[in-house]
Structure 1
Amino acid sequence: MTHVRGRVWRHGKPVDDFVFSEISDCLAAEDTLVWCDIYDPDHEILTDLGDELALNAWAVEDALADAERTKAVVYKTHTFFTVYGVTVKSPAPEDMSESTLEIHRISGFVLPRGLITVRLSPHFDIDTVSRRFDELGGQEYGVGSLVHGLLDVIVDGHFDAVQALDDGIEGLEDDLFDGSARADLQRRTFQLRKDLVALRRVVLPMREVVTVIQHRRMDAKTAPELDPVYADLYDHVLRASEWTESLRDMVTTVFETNLSMQDARLNVVMKKLTGWAAIIAVPTAITGFYGQNVDYPGIDTVGGFVTSSAVIVLLVIVLFVMFRKRDWL
């Protein structure tokens, strides 16, 4: 079922007269700014809206598609973009091998006097976007301020997700070197790698989206005041991208270190087993020699038994001391 909400600003001040059926009139009015958010849109409703507002048909189809990559496309009368918001599950799942991230797709149509957002996920907090509009207080600068507010919320979510993954990797490092074997360490490492790959797919393309919107804004000449805030937003996108790339190196290092430590522990076990096997071989060799069916010095005498036992004990002690000095036991 399609859910629609919206807000209208006139002369930079909010007014409470948004009506979805009259959105064309609002967008045509001077000194008016419109934000319309559509959740779970019906194909027919969005298609009719696209025809009414002369939106590109392919862009409308992309907004309704089940999967679409992060991108921004500039058309003659509007700009279309698709971005992905990321939220961290709270509280964290008890099974740390489960994903801690939720990814939500948001598509947008940027018109000269309005922004239309299309969402397929109900879990993205759109109220945060509305509050961010009011906090920025830049509605008098036009639709560019609305787009910036939305992208600012998206990028803040990326930072929260990167921070959560960073904390998770630090937890893996602590478990890796605390000396206790964790059966789920390998599984948690793989899950973090999966989350990081998914996050990287939505964070890195944001540079292209912000660049396109920043340099090809329709209101670039009428609202130059937004240039610094878009430059700051692009800087945040770069920082999130670089942080994501560094985390990929970190989780790869943790994975490889874990394998190296497993190999090292296996080598220690094999070394100790080999040392004990060498010690056990000495009495086995001596008793095996005296088990031959031939006469030998000291046979059937107490002195022969004591001598062979003393040789066994002496050689075992010598081997034990030698292996212990070499850290083989």
Structure 2
Amino acid sequence: MPMIRRLRRAMRRAYRRPTIDLSHPSRSPLGSSVVNCVVYEDGVRKPSDGDAREALRQVRKTGRGFVWVGLHEPTEAEFAVFASLFGLHPLAVEDAVQAHQRPKVQRYELRDEPGRVGGAVLFTVLKTCRYAGHESAASEIVDTGEVMVFTGPDFVITVRHGRHGSLGPVREALEEHPEQLAKGPAAVLHAIADQVVDAYLAVTDAVESDVDDAENAVFSDNARQADAGRIYLLKRELLELKRAVGPLERPMRSLATSPLPPVGPEIRPYFRDVADHVARVNEQIGTYDALLDSILQAHLAQVTVAQNEDMRRITAWAAIIAVPTMVCGVYGMNFDHMPELRWTYGYPLVIGVMATACALIHRSFRRNGWL
């Protein structure tokens, strides 16, 4: 029932969306979410005034190149402009605006309207990750965000959510290699996926250092100072990283092996390399998670052993103190006829007996390792 209601809401938004005039940039309510709108032809950036409708008209008039529109956390009203212009599926549009989606690759058909290029569009969701460090035990080590990519036959729309994961370096790197950019929108999708996965590798390397520090702290001479909360925080952040990386391996394999337009055969081998890196990161995360389990168990075992040693020491001292307590307790009873009550050397003798007994018990506990 929730899925049916969601479909109905999306369809209502798709067919009741108001008509918006995009004929002039000044009347285009694109808002502040637009980062860039660029036309590329044969891998070369073309002059553009930043108007999405004019850029798309230019590309479809010549039949060459593609449009790359970059957005950052657009509102529903802002993104409705591009959804209507490029013919995006309403379900994908809803996911792109709301964010907090699972990493995936989905194929949608472009809405068939006059003047539109037919074909399919790939909707790709990628989780971005950044190593944030740890100023305190309660801080997050891994900071996550999202990048959604609409890859069509003649356009790329990127929607970024979060404070990091800027795609500016990707754009600059691609513009320095026009032969790669000339492969079309699929080359942009590969470059974005490659940057995201490279960030995963950097994060796992940093987390590995934290895992090593936790291991050294647990097995050091001051093992009691190891922080179990710190180990648990590492496990929780690894789980967050696993949620970002784990679901991505299968989609990357699909892009590398399956015919999914607009990803052509000339770009598929590049996705195979990305899929291999994702598999490597998944293996590293699994290894670190298992290692943290062992470290946490070892730490808890050490804490238990230390507590047992403390209890043995307390018990040993209690046993030593019990001897004089017993003797003093006997002579503290109110009886008239007790031995040596009026003997001159009675008191020194009792003290000597208690001291000797305590020394013998202490020596015995030391030999057995209790003290």
Which residue identity is paired with 1:80? F
CA contact (8 A) 2:127 2:244 kept: yes
Q: CA deviation at 1:9?
A: 2.4
Does 2:308 align with 1:275?
no
Aligned residue in 2 for 1:3: 34
Q: CA deviation at 1:19?
A: 3.6
Superposition TM-score, scaled by structure 2 size: 0.80
Does 2:102 align with 1:102?
no
Q: CA deviation at 1:266?
A: 0.9
CA contact (8 A) 2:121 2:262 kept: no
Aligned residue in 2 for 1:212: 254
CA distance in 1, matches of 2:284, 2:150: 29
Kindly, what percent of the aligned residue pairs are identical? Answer: 23
Q: CA deviation at 1:294?
A: 4.4
For 1:170-319, list aligned pairs within 5 A. 170-180=212-222, 185-214=227-256, 215-219=258-262, 221=264, 223-224=265-266, 226-292=267-333, 293-319=335-361
Instruction: Answer with 22-31 or 163-172: which moved more.
Output: 22-31
Which residue identity is paired with 2:36? R
Q: CA deviation at 1:298?
A: 2.8
Aligned residue in 2 for 1:24: 56
CA distance in 2, matches of 1:132, 1:171: 35
Change (3 A) 1:84 1:239: same
Q: CA deviation at 1:99?
A: 0.6
Per-residue deviation, residues 130-158 of structure 1 (Å, max 9, x unmatched) = 23324665112222211110000100111
SS class of match (1:179): coil
Aligned to 1:127, which of 156, 164, 168? 168
CA distance in 2, matches of 1:34, 1:182: 59
CA distance in 1, matches of 2:161, 2:54: 23
CA distance in 1, matches of 2:286, 2:234: 14
Superposition TM-score, scaled by structure 1 size: 0.90
CA contact (8 A) 2:34 2:72 kept: yes
SS class of match (2:345): helix
SS class of match (2:101): coil
The aligned length equals 325
CA distance in 1, matches of 2:199, 2:37: 22
Aligned residue in 1 for 2:122: 79
Which residue identity is paired with 1:86? C
Does 2:138 align with 1:69?
no
Moved over 6 A (4+): 181-184
Aligned residue in 2 for 1:40: 73
Where does the alignment leave 5 or more consecutive residues of structure 1 unmatched? none
Which residue identity is paired with 2:52? F
Q: CA deviation at 1:279?
A: 0.7
Instruction: Answer with 250-259 or 228-237: which moved more.
Output: 250-259
CA contact (8 A) 2:39 2:55 kept: no
CA distance in 2, matches of 1:231, 1:247: 25
Q: CA deviation at 1:116?
A: 1.0
Instruction: Answer with 244-253 or 144-153: which moved more.
Output: 244-253
CA-atom RMSD in angstroms: 2.2
CA contact (8 A) 1:72 1:208 kept: no
Where does the alignment leave 5 or more consecutive residues of structure 2 unmatched? 1-31, 110-119
SS class of match (1:78): strand
Q: CA deviation at 1:27?
A: 4.3
CA contact (8 A) 2:122 2:151 kept: yes
